[in-house]
Amino acid sequence: MSQDLMIALTKGRVLVDELAILAKAGVEPLEDPTASRRLVFDTNQDRVKIMILRGMDVATYVDHGIADVGMSGKDVLLEYPGTGYYEPLDLGLGRCALMVAGLVDESELPSRLRIATKFTNTAKRYYAERGVQVDIIKLYGAMELAPVTGLAHRIVDIVETGNTLKANGLRSIELITQITTRLIVNTSSYKTKFDQVRKLIDSLEAVL
């Protein structure tokens, strides 16, 4: 096993914030990941590297021990079935909410609902806990169209400002959970690289 500490970050809008909080904790890549096509970067810290992944892949890489530490949205972690990591820190980045939403002028609903979402596992758990029968329809985008066109009665989706819902005649109905970026640590790495991992956790805690 490599003695390098590999940190997996999520590409996209949250990457800038993740890099900023890492920099405050003393870890900075030697090359700007936002301006490069490379996926793995050396840092100013000896034996610490950064890899840039799609959000859905960070948990997979950490779960399988390819990355020792990762930064991933709670929405991704709720969907991911693996158990090979700890979740020691809420980094507070990318704050939003996972909501149930429906039409503003919603008509009376049947006893069995059609729910459109890309968060299928989370939606199934949420409705099962409430004893509500649902059929889950998996969509990858344009979620707001589902109730408008009659594809689904309601949607489960990430809501930041609510403006997109409003523009499409929808409203937030129920909060499932607040979403932020979390620090996750591979369970084996926490043991085999304890000093490196603990140093990073402590440094991040100090700047939060």
* pLDDT of 181 higher than 80: yes
Q: Between 81 and 138, name the one with better pLDDT.
A: 138
Q: What is the pLDDT of residues 88-99, one digit of tens each?
A: 999 999 999 999
DSSP string over 139-204: -SS-TTHHHHHTS-SEEEEEESSSHHHHHTTEEEEEEEEEE-EEEEEEHHHHHHTHHHHHHHHHHH
Residues 144 and 200 in one domain: no
Residues 170 and 201 in one domain: no
CATH number of 48's domain = 3.40.190.10
Residues 88 and 107 in one domain: no
Cβ neighbours of residue 2 closer than 8 Å, sequence gap 6 or more: none
Residues 65 and 141 in one domain: no
Residues 85 and 115 in one domain: no
Domain that holds residue 171: 96-177
Residues 111 and 74 in one domain: no
Q: What is the largest CA-CA distance in the chain?
A: 61
Residue type at position 171: R
Q: What is the pLDDT of residues 127-155, one digit of tens each?
A: 999 999 999 999 999 999 999 999 999 99
CB 140 within 8 A of CB 161: no
- The reported pTM is 0.90
Residues 124 and 65 in one domain: no
Across the range 78-96, mean pLDDT stands at 94
Residues 173 and 191 in one domain: no
pLDDT at 10: 95
Token pair of 69, please?
Answer: 């530490």
pLDDT at 3: 85
Residues 143 and 123 in one domain: yes
Residues 60 and 134 in one domain: no
pLDDT at 207: 94
| Gap between the Cα atoms of 129 and 52, Å rounded | 35
pLDDT at 2: 72
CB 72 within 8 A of CB 157: no
Round the average pLDDT of the chain to a whole number and report it. Answer: 96
Residues 59 and 69 in one domain: yes
β-pair partners for 73? 181
* pLDDT of 6 higher than 80: yes
Structurally, the chain folds into a number of domains equal to: 2
pLDDT at 175: 97
pLDDT at 178: 96
CB 29 within 8 A of CB 43: yes
DSSP symbol at 35: G
pLDDT at 88: 97
Q: CA angle at residue 81 from 76 to 84, to 5 degrees?
A: 95
β-pair partners for 117? 138, 156
Residue type at position 36: S
pLDDT at 1: 54
Residues 20 and 76 in one domain: yes
pLDDT at 156: 98
